[in-house]
Chain A
Amino acid sequence: MTRTVTAEASTDRLIEFSGVSRVYGKGAAAVTAVDDVSFGVDRGEVFGVIGFSGAGKSTLIRMINGLEKPTSGTVTVLGLEVSRLSERRLPKLRARIGMVFQQFNLFTSRNVAGNVAYPLKVAGWSRSERDARVTELLEFVGLSDKAGHYPEQLSGGQKQRVGIARALAAEPDILLADESTSALDPATTTEVLRLLRRANEELGITIVAITHEMEVIRSIADRVAVMDSGRIIETGTAHDLFSDPGDGEGSFVATALKDRPDADDLARIRRHTAGRLVTVSLADAGGVGRVLGSAANHGVSFEIVHGGLSTTKSSSYGLLTLAVEGAADAVEGFVVELRGVGQVREVQA
């Protein structure tokens, strides 16, 4: 299943990919890392790109600041065609785009303050302006007491917070997050994601985040593109994606969410429960309680055998697999009522 949201031409479109491909190598050994990709990102948005590793996400994000060049197609960022800028003219654009890396990439020869000040030096800020900005940023990321520390004295989460402070230093319009939490543990991930969210909400910065972690998309993304083998196979709001993740074999979202029972799960479920198995996708988790509560009125009983409810940045969604027992007519009546609150699919066991 492939869905695309047609890009409305917008005056506040900061990033536009149009038919972009990137091929490495030549002839028989050629590898297409990015394959005919088109999408746009508007000002103030958090745009997530998710996919398995090797899907081309890294190449994709690096084409935004010109670290990689497309083989064909155009990449337009902040009104400039990046794909055409010379190495000489790229720095000016790059100064307006911050980047956060999976391995943090802090300068080991500089302390925390020195790392954050570096992009400001590049941008030509004066000494006193730099000092003031560094103080402000370290406060923003909660590391004011670590200004004189060197990277090796920091934990992974602290390093990434320095990375974020450094990326935000020169007041960029866009922040690129390249697997920014993939090297971190779950607790630290939450901390870093909260910080990215604050950067978006309080500073109004537009974020493009590539990741293989659903958690990142769920907690910060407004819109999402799903990438597989170099292509964008699905685009939509985070909410659409999670509430109806599609059921194609090997679908990244379905696999990553693990919200539907797989064959092993079904075998286990079947051992313990009888009845008709249905999966309900809820675009809004709100109304489901009332319907489930009506089971007794229909004369059926049910058990939730898989799935659950969760939230994205802006809404709730859910995917529940139920085993419903009772007279066939009664079960059908109950299922009809379920259709009123979500999309219902039969599960073959």
Chain B
Amino acid sequence: MIGIVDAYRELDWGYYGPELLTATWETLYLVAGSFLIGGFIGLLLGVTLYTTRSGGVLANRPMWLLTNFVVNLIRPIPFVILVAAIQPLTIQVIGTGIGNQAVIFGMIWASTFAIGRIVEQNLFAIDPGVIEAARAMGAGRFRIILTVILPEALGPLILGFTFVIIALADMSAMAGIIGGGGLGNFAIVEGYQRFRTEVIWLAVVVIIILVQLVQIVGNMLARKVMRR
């Protein structure tokens, strides 16, 4: 025990402190950037999957087949391979194939399709009766999506999105592969490659704290919405 305490007492905080802070901000940037965009597109994708299915409010078989096919095509690709594979596209869109923005671009692709499925699954849990009730009242299809389908599933959706944010923190740890930063890169470059386990653990502790905070906030919001 004394050894561990000593290790951190002797650590060059003048160097690692600011490095750790920067890495934390970078992780937040990677996660927030990809979540905002991927979350929105994923939501649209999930709603499309749910509503275009036969019996859905926008039932449209070709549209459903296409969406479902694309989701199944992209989703199984492991993230590390995906970021490498789409690099030519990344260069076209972002202007560079490396760095944090290139990482966000890759994370958007990976998260969009995962979120699509998560949203679809949560929408499945809605009682079809309430949708029928809204139709019987003369509500239009887009009104039903916005004022019935999404509000009825809001609690589970919040929990689903919380799960995705945490999965994005996990993905962001691989940012170093294409020259991105963040806590994962910090742990590998500053810790692992220099045989400094205590530095790895600094990153681990910060990630645990971040994930805990996200989960607590997500649970709180979901509980509030579901009134439990």
Contacts and interface: CB of A to CB of B under 8 A. Distances in A.
B137 interface: yes
Contact of A118 (B127, B129, B134, B141): B134
A324 interface: no
Nearest to B127: A105
B152 A95 contact: no
B148 A94 contact: no
B152 A97 contact: no
A109 interface: yes
Interface of B is mostly: helix
Nearest to B228: A152
Contact of A109 (B135, B140, B141, B151): B151
B223 interface: no
A95 B133 contact: no
Given A105-B127, A108-B152, A109-B152, A122 B133 contact: no
A90 interface: yes
Contact of B138 (A95, A150, A176): A95
A110 B139 CA distance: 16
A190 B175 CA distance: 66
Given A107-B148, A109-B151, A150-B227, A101 B133 contact: yes
A67 B137 contact: no
Contact of A67 (B127, B130, B132, B154): B132
Contacts of B143: 122
Contacts of A94: 135-138
Contacts of A87: 141
B138 A105 contact: no
A188 to B, nearest CB: 19
Which of A94, A95, A109, A118: most chain B Cβ within 10 A? A109
Interface in B115-166: 127, 129-130, 132-141, 143, 147-148, 151-152, 154
B16 to A, nearest CB: 48
A122 B138 CA distance: 7
Contacts of A106: 130, 133
B33 to A, nearest CB: 30
A92 B127 CA distance: 24
B227 A122 contact: no
Interface in A71-110: 87, 90-95, 97-99, 101, 103, 105-110
A170 interface: yes
Given A108-B152, A109-B151, A122 B139 contact: yes
Interface residues of A, number: 30
A31 interface: no
Given A107-B148, A109-B151, A150-B227, A119 B130 contact: no
Contacts of A122: 134, 137-139, 143
Nearest to B151: A109
B138 A123 contact: yes
Nearest to A96: B138
A101 B148 CA distance: 17
B136 A99 contact: yes
Interface in B161-219: none
A90 B136 CA distance: 9
Contacts of A93: 138
B138 A108 contact: no
Interface string A243-275: 000000000000000000000000000000000
Which of A94, A98, A150: most chain B Cβ within 10 A? A94
Interface in A144-169: 150, 152, 166
A95 B152 CA distance: 22
Given A106-B130, A107-B130, A108-B130, A90 B152 contact: no
A181 interface: no
Contacts of A91: 138-140
A170 B137 contact: yes
Which of B132, B134, B136, B138: most chain A Cβ within 10 A? B136
Contacts of A92: 138
Contacts of A166: 133, 137
A112 B133 CA distance: 15
Given A122-B143, A150-B227, A105 B132 contact: yes
A34 to B, nearest CB: 18
A225 to B, nearest CB: 21
A180 to B, nearest CB: 13
B68 to A, nearest CB: 23
9 contacts: A91-B138, A95-B138, A99-B133, A99-B137, A101-B132, A105-B130, A118-B134, A122-B139, A150-B227
Interface of A: 65, 67, 87, 90-95, 97-99, 101, 103, 105-110, 118-119, 121-123, 150, 152, 166, 170, 176
